[in-house]
Structure 1
Amino acid sequence: MEYSHEDAELVGQPVGYWTWAANKTLTAFVRGRLAAIGITQPQWWALHQVLHSEQGVTRDEVISAQRANLDVGAGMAVDIDLLVERKLLVPGADGRLRITEEGRALHGRAAETQRASRGIVHDGVSDEEYLITLKVLQRMMRNAGGEVTPA
């Protein structure tokens, strides 16, 4: 493994900084790649959630699920409105959102973009290294009194 610092120096650095820096860097990377195909990350989440619901979902269900998992706040409502405006989602008479064919097509492009992004980010990182990293982060979260819930 290659680092920009000596291991002895790295071991003394705060994990909070590195997890923040990783989050900032990786989020910008993913969001930039999704933006290149005309979708925001929260819009991707909404399309994904609606796609995988046979009966469709309400706006409140999308907002609630994303707020609980990803702390996106009130902006999720705007992203849903934009998806409806673009006719990627349509509200039914029952008020439940359903995905259109155009929405399915964009979801497919976004899914492929996400797979390619994961490949780029994981280049040179074995599954074993990735698993160890996640388990160590989960242990540190528990040690700090946090909850560890699946993504």
Structure 2
Amino acid sequence: MQFSHPDSELVEQPIGYWSWAAHTSVVAHIRQALATVGLTQPQWWVLNQLDDAAGAHSLEGLIRTLRGYLDVGDQLNVDIDDLVARGVIVVDDMDQVAMTPEGQRILAAAKEVQITAHTRIHGGVTDDDLLTTMKVLQRMIHNTDGKFWHH
């Protein structure tokens, strides 16, 4: 791969721009891939949370957990309503959320799509490079007093 600038100039490039550009490109790639199985990214998060659940999930708890993901905001409610309308998840009278067999089928397809997307996104990036990148980004978040769910 050819980089945009020589190393001596690359270190002077604005991190805000390049982190935004990476975010925009990676998220767009993931969302396009998930659309092939009929999911938005927030819907993938819902199904993934339900798959990882050690028990029932309350609707309120699910929304509270996912609301901070990539500024999803109120769109999350629309995405959840769509999953219910399509029979992918159900919400019972106690506001407990569960995945249906159709949801499990879609989740399995989405996991395959995500594996393919992950492989492409991480192509040519060593684990050491990724680890350094993640630590640098988290350090920059810390340096700017950022407060994010995973930080």
Which residue is equivalent to 1:67? 67
Q: Could you tell me how far apart the structure 2 residues matched to 1:113 and 1:3 are?
A: 28
Contact 1:59 1:80 in 2 (8 A): no
Which residue is equivalent to 1:92? 92
Which deviates further from its counterpart, 6-15 or 19-28? Answer: 6-15
Partner SS state of residue 97, structure 1: strand
Q: Which runs of 4+ in 1 moved over 3 A?
A: none
Which residue is equivalent to 1:13? 13
Q: How does 1:2-151 map to 2 (within 5 A)?
A: 2-147=2-147, 150=150
Contact 2:90 2:97 in 1 (8 A): yes
Q: Could you tell me how far apart the structure 1 residues matched to 2:139 and 2:148 are?
A: 9
How far off is 1:94 after superposition? 2.1
Number of equivalenced pairs: 151
Give the aligned residue type for 1:41: Q
Task: Describe the superposition over 1:103-141 as per-residue Cα deviations: whole angstroms up to 9, x where unpaired.
Answer: 011011111111111101111111011001111111122
Q: Could you tell me how far apart the structure 2 residues matched to 1:39 and 1:147 are?
A: 28
Provide the TM-score with structure 2 as the length reference: 0.92
5+ residue gaps, structure 1, are none
Q: Could you tell me how far apart the structure 2 residues matched to 1:11 and 1:52 are?
A: 40
Partner SS state of residue 5, structure 1: coil
Q: Could you tell me how far apart the structure 1 residues matched to 2:91 and 2:68 are?
A: 23
Contact 2:68 2:149 in 1 (8 A): no
Which deviates further from its counterpart, 70-79 or 56-65? Answer: 56-65
How far off is 1:63 after superposition? 1.5
Identical columns (%): 41
Q: Could you tell me how far apart the structure 2 residues matched to 1:13 and 1:141 are?
A: 17
Provide the TM-score with structure 1 as the length reference: 0.92
